[in-house]
Amino acid sequence: MTAVPTEFPAGRRFGDRIGDNALYAITAAAGAGVVVLIGAVAWKVFDGSSLAFSDFGLGFLVHSVWDPVHNEFGALSFIYGTAVTSFIALLLAAPIAIGIALYLTELAPRAIRETVGALVEMLAAIPSVILGLWGILVLGPFMLNHLEPWLQSFLGWIPLFSGDPSQKGILSASIVLTIMAVPIIASVARELFVRVPAELKDGARALGATRWEVVRGVVLQYTRAGLGAAVILGLGRALGEAIAVTQVIGGTVNIPSSLFESGDTLASRIAAQYQGSASNLQTSSLFYLAAILLVFSLIINLIAQLIVRRFEHTHIGAS
Amino acid sequence: MTQADTMVNVAPIEIAQRRERPQTPTLRETVFDIRNLSVSYGKTPAIKDVSFEIYRNQVTAIIGPSGCGKSTFIRTLNRMNDLVPSANVEGEVLYHGVDLYGTKVDPVQVRRRIGMVFQKPNPFPKSIYDNVAWGLRVLGMKDKLDDRVKRALEQAALWDDVRHRLKKNALGLSGGQQQRLCIARALAVEPEVLLMDEPASALDPIATARIEDLMHDLKNEYTIVVVTHNMQQAARVADMTAFFGLEVLPDKSRTGILVEYDATQKIFTQPSDKRTEDYVTGRFG
Amino acid sequence: MSTTPPNIDPRAAALFQTDGRLRRRRIVNRLMEALGTIASLAAVAVLVIVVASVVKNGWGAFSVEFFTTSPSLSGFGTAEGGILSSIVGSILLVVIATIFALPIGVLVAIFVSEVAPRKVADVIRLALDVINGLPTIVTGIFIFSVLVLAQGQSAIAGGLALAIIGLPLIARSAQEVLRLVPTSYREAGLALGAPRWRTILGVILPTSLGGILTGTTLAIARVAGETAPLLFTTSLAVTTSVTWDPTQPVQSMPLTIFQYAEQPDPSFHEQAWATGAVLLAFVLVVSLISKFLLARSRRKLTQ
């Protein structure tokens, strides 16, 4: 009869404990590092802007001059450019993306759903510098020679569409941003629409409603919160895009009244000055721009993430 | 013949003889005249060659073992099978003499006249009022909306429960209340027929009893067809009962067929077909 | 086919009645369906147009020389030579990024799925999502202030910026696959008396390799195409020769495209398109590989 051990070898347990503790410590360090990273980014960016902040204070936000020669800097024209391009991009991208998502989940013949869906996602995989290149060399001339004159012929009486058509400008940048935002919003929206319970849609159809009426009355309402998060995620993308925008927006410091004019956004102005600054103040002002961009982006991102998390929570609760 | 033999390998000629009409007094009016209805999903057969008539202001129960196509059958009555791309419908479903699957018929119109309540209560994520009002608004029946909503809720025996909380979210109601809300929602658009696909199977016995009472009340104004896997329920509520069974085809696939259709009393006390007798006496199923 | 009696019952006749309202509803329905279809076609069309532009316009610059020589500075203002230095630089940057992002990403994933209490895990998951949403230009500025101001530009700096971008992708994929590992594996390990670290390293991690690989390829596809993080960290590179030295700034394909696009001479444009074609091909192929890997690891783990 084998003896039943009444204690376990201490040595082996010690080794186990060290191993476990080491694992916990290392992985916890990685986890903590992730959180610390965000803090570090914020800190360094704000720290780098301290010179400009001490010189300009919050007035920087409402000053629309950017003059390296006289060392006078302000963010207003870029905040304006960011706001306008993002707004137009979302205005165009949201309905298009939701339309695509609805098509892919409700309308399209099953056989092509996967393929078309994959193609739309491939649009998101295109590096922004290539879209920017296309924007300069293909979209630009098209804007100059076709789209903008066409818009002007209809809507030229609105100040937004006045002035000379141009290759680079607010409108070009907005279109490029739209192309980038659509796949992101569409892919989130698709996930949402697929999860709408079939019996909910059946119930609506059984009353004698058309497909669109079911979408409008039931599907869109059911996914309302998630769609909001999707659009906000798209906004985050548009807000932070530096490369493609700087390639097609013209890079001027002004508050354009027409969409055909050139301008600049926060991200694109930072990108445009990568080759060097004339002074420490200019560098610090760039950091100031980055700080503003960071704050906008963090707020937007957090709002989107909170909506997503709350949305998951309520729907699990309801079912 | 063994019990198993009676269910499988039935000669086709016996199937044809199953198309007997129940003893109908001439007062009964036909709402649905189903003729040689067969449905398959892609290559998989679901029901085969079903023929019988459904009468006005009656509760007609569809009973049978699982897999015999009861749900498929009832969903052909309001063209809900259209929503399944692979569904293939053959034969005719005559509604007051007009084939529902005829070329000029709009399924949207069909579903307005022939309403449906589902097994799992599926209220919209809206308020109680809006659940009932939604169909009315979509279909353009917006005059006296409040009255229509009230009437529908009264008909579904839900008005007293919810009259003081019409703006509350429907998802806060109990399962039985939600199902009655779905009934109210269906009745609001003034259909002639109400199809019910196992309406009480997800509910507790008390809620079930209330639904059964409701069926009894509603048949004065509507024609009701109810699918149920609960024989006792059919015996309690139905005037006519259709028993669906399974048939094995030459290629070993199984399809649902109509075995017997008669007054409920006769089905449960003196069934003409042995298969019916075996089912209702609980020998299998 | 329908046997309609000559006098249609008025209740059935209701099935055929069309009033203005119904007609309008049908038209609106058709319209919306058309719009959805058009939107999808438009998206696919844009993809096709962009890819076609890239291939068509860059084709002329393809040659053996294009891939095997670096640019040479000629005095004529036209593009001379190829993009070898960019290709090598991109490879170096991606490798550096992976070296940093992969282990940290896996460690974070293990922490979140196996070690951390629920609330802490939620916070870290949120943090990962926030990092994922950071504007890449800000990430570049961050590394600029941490490393470049003191030490000058370098491939390491660029690689680190890219690593920050790739980290959430790797961590997310690793997390997903760790979650799919059946609890029975963990329980079996514990039941044998093995310590947690042994079970995680010896059983769970190897099972999750497929998902980790997927995440890594996703990250590679993403960071290979990034330009903004490189602007302040590795843009002042010697382009005329190949550098493998990570402490020096290196040229890269996205940056080449960015710079050549602004040049006036069309020969630069052609090379920009061609570089874009190479980059695009790389990104799309790696994306497809990652999708394939994802499907495969899902299949294996849910069997």
In this complex, do A217 and B134 lie within 8 Å of one another by their Cβ atoms?
A: yes
Which residue of chain A is at minimal alpha-carbon distance from C30? A212
| Residue C296 pLDDT greater than 60, yes or no | yes
Q: Give C3 to chain B, closest Cα distance, Å.
A: 7
Q: In whole angstroms, give the CA distance from residue B142 to residue B135.
A: 10
Q: How far apart are the first and last CA of chain A?
A: 57
* Span A229-263, pLDDT tens digits: 999 999 999 999 999 999 999 999 989 889 999 99
* pLDDT > 90 fraction of chain C, expressed in percent and rounded: 58
Residues C241 and C173 in one domain: yes
Residues from B contacting A (CB-CB < 8 Å) are 78, 80, 83, 85, 108-112, 115-116, 118, 120, 122-126, 134-135, 138-139, 171, 182, 185-186, 189
Q: Cβ separation of A200 and B116 shorter than 8 Å?
A: no
Report if residue C12 sits inside a domain: no
Q: Which domain holds residue A198?
A: 50-318
Tell me if residue B90 falls in helix, strand or coil: strand
What's the number of domains chain A is made of?
Answer: 1
Q: Give the amino acid at B237.
A: V
- Phi, then psi, of C227 in degrees rounded to 5: -115, -45
Selected residue of A130, A219, A245, A288 to mutate for chain C interface (largest C Cβ count, 10 A) = A130
Domain identity same for C28 and C108: no
A103 touching C, CB under 8 A? yes
Report chain C residues whose CB lies below 8 A from the CB of B92.
1-3
Nearest C-alpha neighbor of A85 from the set A204, A250, A207: A250
What pLDDT sits at residue B18? 38
Contact B185, B133 (CB under 8 A): no
Chain B contact for C15 (CB, 8 A cutoff): yes
Q: Closest CB to B182: pick one of A203, A221, A318.
A: A203
Mark whether C57 and C93 lie in a shared domain.
no
Domain range enclosing C89: 65-302
pLDDT of residue B8 exceeding 50:
no
Q: Do B78 and A206 touch (CB under 8 A)?
A: yes
Tell me the residue type at C68.
T
Query: Would residue A42 count as lying in a domain?
Result: no
pLDDT of residue B52: 95
Find the mean pLDDT for residues C197-211.
Answer: 84
Strands (E) located in chain A: 66-67, 72-73
Q: Kindly state whether residue C26 falls inside one of the protein's structural domains.
A: yes
CATH number (domain holding residue A288): 1.10.3720.10
Nearest CA to CA, how far is B68 from chain A (Å)? 21
Interface of C with A in 134-173 (CB under 8 A): 134-139, 141-142, 145-146, 164, 167, 171
Contact A133 C232 (CB under 8 A): no
Residue A202 near chain C (CB below 8 Å): no
Contact A217 B138 (CB under 8 A): yes
Question: Residue C192's pLDDT is what?
Answer: 82
**Which chain A residues touch C111 with a CB distance below 8 Å?**
27-28, 30-31
Closest alpha carbon to A76 in A265, A279, A304: A265
- C-beta of residue B170 within 8 angstroms of C-beta of residue B123: yes
Domain match, C280 and C230 both: yes
Looking at residue C241, its pLDDT comes to: 85
Q: Give B100's contacts in chain C (Cβ within 8 Å).
A: 15
* Position A200 in a domain: yes
Mutate which of B98, B109, B136, B139 to disrupt the C interface (most C C-beta within 10 Å)? B98
One-letter amino acid identity for A13? Answer: R
Per-residue pLDDT tens digits for B114-159: 999 999 999 999 999 999 999 999 999 999 999 999 999 999 999 9
pLDDT winner (highest mean) among A60-69, A155-164, B17-26: A60-69
Is C73 domain-assigned? yes
Determine the distance in angstroms separating the CA of A15 from the nearest CA of chain C, rounded to an integer: 9
From A250's Cα to the closest Cα of chain C, the distance in A is 11
- Reduced to 3 states (helix: H, G, I; strand: E, B; else coil), residue A263 is strand
What pLDDT is stored for residue A4 in this prediction? Answer: 66
Q: What's the structural domain count of chain C?
A: 2
Q: Which residues contact B264 (CB under 8 A, 6 or more apart)?
A: B61, B234, B235, B238, B239, B240, B241
C195 occurs within a structural domain: yes
pLDDT at B3: 42
Partners of residue C3 on adjacent β-strands? none
Residues C81 and C170 occupy one common structural domain? yes
Chain position carrying tokens 């769609």: A227
Query: How many Cβ pairs closer than 8 A exist between chain A and B?
Result: 66
Q: According to the model, what pLDDT value does residue A1 have?
A: 52
**Considering only CA atoms, which of B44, B20, B5 is closest in space to residue B255?**
B44
User: Does residue A228 lie in a domain region?
Assistant: yes
Between helix C118-132 and helix A280-318 the angle, nearest 10°, is: 130
Residue A111 lies inside a defined structural domain of this protein: yes
The percentage of chain A sitting over the pLDDT mark of 70, rounded to a whole number, equals 93
Contacts of A240 in chain C (CB under 8 A): 133-138
Q: Please judge whether C141 and A40 are an interchain contact, meaning their C-beta atoms are less than 8 angstroms apart.
A: no
pLDDT score for B21: 35
Would A144 be classed as within a structural domain?
Answer: yes
> Would the pLDDT of B263 be above 80?
yes
Q: What is the mean pLDDT of chain C?
A: 89
A206-215, B4-13, B29-38: range with lowest mean pLDDT: B4-13
Same domain, C84 and C118: yes
pLDDT on residue A309 = 83
Q: Of all residues in chain B, what percent carry a pLDDT higher than 70?
A: 90
Q: What is the mean pLDDT of chain A?
A: 90
Does any domain span residue C239?
yes
Three-state helix/strand/coil letters over A103-165: HHHHHCCHHHHHHHHHHHHHHHHCCHHHHHHHHHHHHHHHHHHHHHHHHHHHHCCCHHHCCCC
Q: Does A293 touch chain C (CB under 8 A)?
A: yes
Average pLDDT over residues B74-96: 93
pLDDT at B9: 41
Q: Are residues C158 and C23 in the same domain?
A: no
Residue A300 domain-assigned (yes or no): yes
C191: domain CATH number? Answer: 1.10.3720.10
Regarding whether C39 and C78 lie in a shared domain, the answer is no
Regarding whether C225 and C248 lie in a shared domain, the answer is yes
Whether C237 and C270 map to the same domain: the answer is: yes
pTM of the model: 0.88
Chains that touch C (3 or more CB pairs under 8 A): A, B
Q: Does C239 lie in the same domain as C153?
A: yes
- Whole-angstrom Cα distance, residue A203 to residue B182? 8
